[in-house]
Amino acid sequence: MNVTLQVWRQAGPSAPGGMVRYEANDISPDASFLEMLDVVNERLMAAGEVPIAFDHDCREGICGSCSLMINGVAHGPNKGTATCQLHMRSFADGREISVEPWRSRAFPILRDLVVSREAFDRIIAAGGYISAPTGSAIDGNATLIAKDEVDTAMDAAQCIGCGACVAACPNGSASLFTAAKITHLGLLPQGQPERGLRARRMVEQMDIEGFGGCTLYGECQEACPKLISIDTITRMNRDYLRAAVAPVRAVVSESD
């Protein structure tokens, strides 16, 4: 199959950028979108041109690094799919496809289709972990947890931190990402000691990073490759409000 690409090219963070047209011919319909970009880059390098920079790693929908806006949609037209899981058969032969990086003030462009998502790392560093001593390892069946809570926690734990929620949100909010991390830990027994402090620190760090506020458009859950529900945002808001109006009981103090 043959497609025409309109790809965002930008040499560096402070360099001007723009869309550049490329012809991707004789592409297998069974090739993934990233494999198609590999073919285009091989042809560019063979012609002595600079290849298109884009992020990738596992190519199995796990790492979350394949962050591309395809025809204005985060990760492309297929729901519940990362870019690396998107195949060229999802597009009609002869189609023109635009490829851009995530568009967010908190995700500055480094080069071409590569953005910095270090803001997510700082949100996690603010509290997305368990540091309270919970004792030595015990039998997995010793602590009973309701199945609905386990299922909800594991659904939230699927978040791969790709940033599609931010790119899709009209406000550029990172609430779905932050809420998924807070929900995952907050529903399990090990996460209870720091539940309030975790929510407060992570939400405040999210605001510091310059992400927009959440007004529950719902675009985030539509773009999420793991189909994480915005119900997690409700849980995050509840934990944050409780922490804001009541003393936070946590092993880690504010001075740490």
Q: 22 pairs with which residues across the strands?
A: 5
User: Which SS3 state, helix, strand or coil, does residue 29 take?
Assistant: coil
For residue 194, what pLDDT is reported?
A: 92
Domain 3-110 fold: Ubiquitin-like (UB roll) (3.10.20)
- Residue spans of the domains in the chain: they are 3-110, 118-245
Domain 118-245 fold: Fumarate Reductase Iron-sulfur Protein; Chain B, domain 2 (1.10.1060)
Task: Give the position of tokens 């603010």.
Answer: 126
Contact assessment for residue 175 and residue 236, using Cβ atoms and an 8 Å cutoff? yes
Model confidence over 74-126: pLDDT tens digits? 999 999 999 999 999 999 999 999 999 999 999 999 999 999 999 999 999 99
Model confidence over 148-180: pLDDT tens digits? 999 999 999 999 999 999 999 999 999 999 999
Please tell me what DSSP assigns to residue 207.
Answer: H
Model confidence over 201-214: pLDDT tens digits? 999 999 999 999 99
